[in-house]
Amino acid sequence: MQAQNVVVSFKNIQKTYGGVKAVAAISLDIRKGELVCLLGPSGCGKTTTLRMLAGFIDPTGGDISIEGQDVTKLPAYRRDIGIVFQNYALFPHMTVAKNVEYGLVNIGMRKAERRERIQDILRRVELQHLSDRYPRALSGGQQQRVALARALALQPKVLLLDEPFSNLDAQLRVRLREDLHGLIKSLNMTTLFVTHDQEEALTLADRIVVMNQGLVEQIGSPEEVYDAPASRFVAQFIGTCALLEGNIDGSGLFTSNGGLRLPTKANPGPATVVVRPEFVRRADELATLQAHHARVEASDYHGHVSRLQLSIGYDQLLMDARFPVGMKPQRGDTIKIAIDPGGVRVVPNQV
């Protein structure tokens, strides 16, 4: 990574409240134009991290720099940051255009330039026809776009978004997510996006920072954190999986405590193996592989697939599969399955 491409740099950033570590230690570089998601369960320290970058919270330790300048002690208004809050925080007594203009007046921009800037940004978020409306006369999705326009109008060095879609219904969320992604990429905007929603992170992010209890569990592309989880926590938080405990022998063969054998390329020793449901297949689809008899413990229909809970001896697996009409296995049935070794991942065996 070239140093001049780094816009945001967290170096061992920490925040404690009393004895409680809200953020235990975060080190992270965000490159120019990169969209990074902080992903983790409620209370893991995402908002605290974002607010330390914004300048609303003083870190207990560590440094933050923006474009090479140490901003750790700089007040929020001098950091050149745009922020979209979860509740949007629009001024209710101002029109859409006035909401966007507010920050531009504050930095002393002249009227003609302000008008041009407002028009440009409202066009980009497709709100130009609503510039004279008041926030109360806008839908949730439109309010969110006003908040976004207000943040982007200042042409910040970094855009921060804290769960910006959490107040919207599921369908609107998906559409706004795509719009937001397009807009951020067309502006080449460096962005830090906070969410507890794994699907949001997987679809939006260039890189995901998976957090748990104030610590970083893994930093990687969506494919890396899904296909090669660094820990049990990451494997379980992102996507669905079965975890099998057991041992790997000198040839890489994993044997679970329940007796199931799976080839791996990992080193010998105690290990936990992650098996995603899409890699458990009908034996007739993977005829070359060893077949196992599995008992169906539960079967849920999801339309595109059925999700089966299976037991093979003492081991439990999940399976996503399609079955011919009328052939869907029921609880108590025995079916023949094979496990695609390409989907078997070994994670460190934590205690």
Ligand X SMILES: Nc1ncnc2c1ncn2[C@@H]1O[C@H](COP(=O)(O)OP(=O)(O)O)[C@@H](O)[C@H]1O
Site size with Mg ion, rule: CB under 5 A: 1
Hey, which residues between 27 and 46 contact ligand X (CB under 6 A)?
40, 42-46
DSSP 299-336: EEE-SS-EEEEEEETTEEEEEEE---TT----TT-EEE
Please state the closest distance from residue 21 (CB atom) to ligand X, in A: 8
Please state the closest distance from residue 165 (CB atom) to ligand X, in A: 15
Write each residue from 180 to 219 as x if it is in contact with Mg ion (CB under 5 A), else as -, in one continuous string: ----------------------------------------
Site size with ligand X, rule: CB under 6 A: 11
Q: Is 48 near ligand X (CB under 6 A)?
A: yes
For residue 237, the surrounding DSSP H or E stretch is: helix 232-237
Hey, which residues between 228 and 257 contact ligand X (CB under 6 A)?
none
Residue 301 interacts with which of ligand X, Mg ion, none, CB < 5 to 8 Å by class: none
Residue 114 interacts with which of ligand X, Mg ion, none, CB < 5 to 8 Å by class: none
d(CA 334, CA 332): 7
DSSP H helices, 30-76, are 46-54
- Enter the tokens of residue 76: 């929020």
Q: Is 47 near ligand X (CB under 6 A)?
A: yes
Residue 17 interacts with which of Mg ion, ligand X, none, CB < 5 to 8 Å by class: ligand X
Please state the closest distance from residue 213 (CB atom) to ligand X, in A: 8
Q: Are strands 191-195 and 35-39 parallel, antiparallel or unpaired?
A: parallel
Stretch that binds ligand X, among 15-23, 84-92, 123-131, 295-303 (CB under 6 A): 15-23
Stretch that binds Mg ion, among 13-21, 47-55, 99-107, 233-241 (CB under 5 A): 47-55
- Say which amino acid occupies 149: A
Describe the crossing of helices 96-106 and 111-124 by its angle, rounded to 10 degrees.
Answer: 130
- Enter the tokens of residue 170: 């599921």
Please state the closest distance from residue 159 (CB atom) to ligand X, in A: 18
Residue 45 interacts with which of ligand X, Mg ion, none, CB < 5 to 8 Å by class: ligand X
Q: Of 64, 88, 222, 26, which Cα lies nearest the Cα of 158?
A: 64
Contacts 24+ apart (CB under 8 A), 87-94: 87/167, 88/135, 88/143, 88/144, 88/146, 88/147, 89/147, 90/135, 90/143, 90/146, 90/147, 90/150, 91/135, 92/134, 92/135, 92/136, 93/134, 94/134, 94/135
- CA separation, residue 290 to residues 140, 244, 309 (Å): 53, 18, 19
Q: Are strands 242-248 and 253-256 parallel, antiparallel or unpaired?
A: antiparallel
Q: Is 22 near ligand X (CB under 6 A)?
A: yes
Residue closer to Mg ion by CB (options 37, 100) is 37
Please state the closest distance from residue 197 (CB atom) to ligand X, in A: 12
Please state the closest distance from residue 23 (CB atom) to ligand X, in A: 7
Stretch that binds Mg ion, among 2-10, 42-50, 125-133, 274-282 (CB under 5 A): 42-50
Q: Are 214 and 22 in contact (CB under 8 A)?
A: yes
The contact set with Mg ion (CB under 5 A) reads 47
The contact set with ligand X (CB under 6 A) reads 17, 20, 22, 40, 42-48
